[in-house]
Amino acid sequence: MKHNHYGNPANDLVEIINQNRTAQKLERLNDNPGLGCMALQYVELCKGNCSGNSAVNCKPPTDDFTEVFAPNCGVELPTIGTITGHIVGCQSKYTEPSLAFANVLVKDKKSLSVLRNKSHSGVGVGLIGFHKGPFFWCVLFSNGGTNSSFVLEDRGEGIKQKKGCYSGSAFPCNAGHR
């Protein structure tokens, strides 16, 4: 069962997250492009911080969400909701979303409990590969209303995103292809 929106692996990962949640009788999460774009900003900031066990040693300052990521994405500041959790992972090369889910992102009890948190209502995924470098995935969760939080200006048309891809985006994505 493949949902390929323009071959965007970030959208595929959102679907896998939702399948995992509904199997646990939890709510499906809304795929939020503003959150997805911010997830991509998060991992762009973390390049060079990939350790051997697929962990990312990188904690952007909380202010970066409102002062850097949101403006870069064209998220309207009054719509910024609460980020209720995040999962970040990396590996040496790109793998299919289902493998990234199991081997990179949700590989321990801590990340599983983030994934299954009942306070989430929205999700966004960003992923990016660096030249000769590792491949990063980031999942951000939020608890805002569907249409009221992390809203993109002009439906995201002003985003200057040159590489990587994020969920909920209508743009073709160039990250998952070698």
**Per-residue pLDDT, 71:** 92
**Per-residue pLDDT, 174:** 59
**Per-residue pLDDT, 33:** 93
Distance CA(98)–CA(116), nearest Å, equals: 17
Query: Is 65:80 a contact under the CB 8 Å cutoff?
Result: yes
Instruction: Set out the domains of the chain in order of their start, with CATH numbers.
Output: 28-166 (3.40.33)
Averaged pLDDT, groups of 10, the chain, 178 residues long: 62 97 96 94 88 83 92 92 94 91 94 96 93 88 85 82 84 57
Phi-psi region of 62 (alpha: psi -120 to 50; beta: other; left: phi over 0): alpha
Distance CA(18)–CA(164), nearest Å, equals: 22
